[in-house]
Amino acid sequence: MPSAGPNVPRHVAIIMDGNGRWAKQRGLPRIEGHRRGVETVRSIIDAARELGIQYLTLYAFSAENWQRPPDEVSALMSLLELFLRREAKTLIKNRIRLHTIGRIEELPAGPLKELKRAIAATQEFTDWNLVLALNYGSRTELADAARAYADAVVAGREKPEECSWSALSRYLYTADLPDPDLLIRTSGETRLSNFLLMQCAYAEMIFSPVLWPDFTKAELVTAIEEYQRRERRFGLTGEQVKPPVRVHRPAVNQ
């Protein structure tokens, strides 16, 4: 398996930003930027697997994105449906398990059906994981988790005095996923925009100026190299943690 060497982040989460600006720069409608963004999604899924990244989470549609113009929302939903219909076979071929985070039940019937189908068809895979954040927002996630925890208390399955982060995190959408090691946002914006706020407590953050439709495997490798130069301390001192392992630049075939 080609890999970026030791110390490859196990979980990379990406805020895919800049589709609209990419289109505007070319005098194209915003939806063209999203269409090109889907091509980038395909190539980055392949790249992540080639580099040995076990979990790739993509912020595909936020809980706030419903407020965009209706034609853009419906175009994004159509692109999602088409992507799932076309990519399901590739996910199966490459043994990639599809997960979602977010209130997916509120998605339109078409993409929801394709999502459920692809999730079921890939559920046996364990090595590679693609997580699509859809109708996702961290604050909604926390509210949903608090409600589920409160229901469990009422049902006698949990005790309020035993509420800790590890107990509460079992009620998050991400209960079965490791925390992201590396968070990347494209397009030069330096915000988290309600994305995995709790789970990224110790994630390294890299903000790339490249617009999402132009983001390539080479940019992903550059971000990983930057990640590998950083010292993750998790609240400890530099002396308490081992120095990071330095690696050679992996081959990039594009």
Q: Please list the active-site residues.
A: 17, 65
Nearest to ligand FPP of 21, 117 (CB atom): 21
Nearest to ligand FPP of 15, 145 (CB atom): 15
What token pair was written down for 198? 């709790």
**Dihedral pair phi/psi, residue 48, rounded to 5°:** -60, -40
What is the sign, positive or negative, of the torsion defined by CA atoms of 247, 249, 251, 252? positive
Nearest to ligand FPP of 37, 52 (CB atom): 37
- 38 makes contact with ligand FPP (CB under 6 A): yes
List the beta bridge partners of residue 13.
57, 183
**30-51 vs 70-93: helix crossing angle, rounded to 10:** 20
| Contact window for ligand FPP (CB under 6 A) among 2-10, 57-65, 141-149, 224-232 | 57-65
- 16 makes contact with ligand FPP (CB under 6 A): yes
Can you tell me the distance from the alpha carbon of 72 to that of 62, in angstroms, rounded to the nearest whole number?
Answer: 13
Can you tell me the distance from the alpha carbon of 75 to that of 63, in angstroms, rounded to the nearest whole number?
Answer: 16
**Site map 179..198 versus ligand FPP, x via CB under 6 A:** --------x-----------
Give me the least distance between CB of 130 and ligand FPP, in Å please. Answer: 9
Amino acid at 125: F
- 137 makes contact with ligand FPP (CB under 6 A): no
What token pair was written down for 48? 């992540």
Residue ranges binding ligand FPP (CB under 6 A): 16-21, 34, 37-38, 41, 58, 60, 65, 76, 79-80, 83, 132, 187, 212
